[in-house]
Structure 1
Amino acid sequence: MAKKRIRIDLEDSDGAKYNFNIEGNITRDKVIKIFELMNLMNIEDQETAPQLDSVGAKVWHIVDKYFPMGNFTSNEILEKYEDEYNEPVKLSVISTYLARFNTKGRIDRLRQGKAWVYQIAKIPQKTD
């Protein structure tokens, strides 16, 4: 049987680097001990900036940043998008991404007159 190996490389907010190597008989308890050690040292995953490399990611960023609780329209997203990224985008593109998010269950939409009104989908709470 081949030797098992786990390597964890981290950097804290002060720039200090940490390297953890585990080789041989790796058990769940040993891995948990490493994470407990990291917790004692107060090493946490730094919140990374979202990858905004596509129009869809940028649209979702706008939805999540400006409308986490309330309702919004595609026109409101268009306005915030152009303000935030200083680049033009067509309303049809925004509407297409919002429709895709609705299909994936990320947002809910409701017809009000001639327009759609959107809201981030609520996750149902389990009651025990």
Structure 2
Amino acid sequence: MAKKRIRIDMEDSDGARYDIKLEGNVTRDKVLKIFEMMDLMNIEEEHEVTNMDSVGSKIWNIVDKFFPMGKFTSTNILEKYEDEYNEPVKLSVISTYLSRFSSKGRVNRTRTGREWTYQTIKLAQKQQ
């Protein structure tokens, strides 16, 4: 079995840098503890501070603003996106970004019938 290795580089709002490395028997619980520590230190992810120039950042803003708790679908995001930004976007574009957010560990993705249901990781951590 291959040795697992995770590296997390962060910078807080004051400019202090943090470099955390996990090697060996890396479990979900250990990673969750690291995120809890980051939450206690008020370290926010760098991409949460980005401006709203890209479609991806706008979609994440919708997820963060309207669905911090509970589950949602790409159709829910589509409706809120068009209401919030008054611009059209294809459902396939939203689905692609949500899939990317899932692969990056920002949201959980579950198959529900014929569609995908999403939930932010922050909420999933607090429910356990």
Range into which the TM-score falls when normalised by the shorter chain: 0.5 to 0.7
Aligned equivalent of 1:61: 61
The whole-number CA distance in structure 1 between the counterparts of 2:78 and 2:125 is: 29
> Aligned residues, how many?
77
Q: Counterparts of 1:1-128 in structure 2 under 5 Å?
A: 51-122=51-122, 124=125
Q: Secondary structure at the match of 1:79?
A: helix
Give the ranges of 4+ consecutive aligned residues of structure 1 lying more than 4 Å apart after TM superposition: none
Letter of the structure 2 residue corresponding to residue 71 of structure 1: K
The whole-number CA distance in structure 1 between the counterparts of 2:54 and 2:125 is: 29
Larger fraction in helix: 2
Structure 2 residues not aligned, in runs of 5+: 1-48
Alpha-carbon RMSD across the aligned residues, in angstroms, is: 1.6
Q: Secondary structure at the match of 2:105?
A: coil
The whole-number CA distance in structure 1 between the counterparts of 2:118 and 2:63 is: 10
Greater C-alpha radius of gyration: 1
TM-score, with structure 1 as normaliser = 0.57
TM-score, with structure 2 as normaliser = 0.57
The whole-number CA distance in structure 2 between the counterparts of 1:94 and 1:86 is: 15
Q: Secondary structure at the match of 1:68?
A: coil
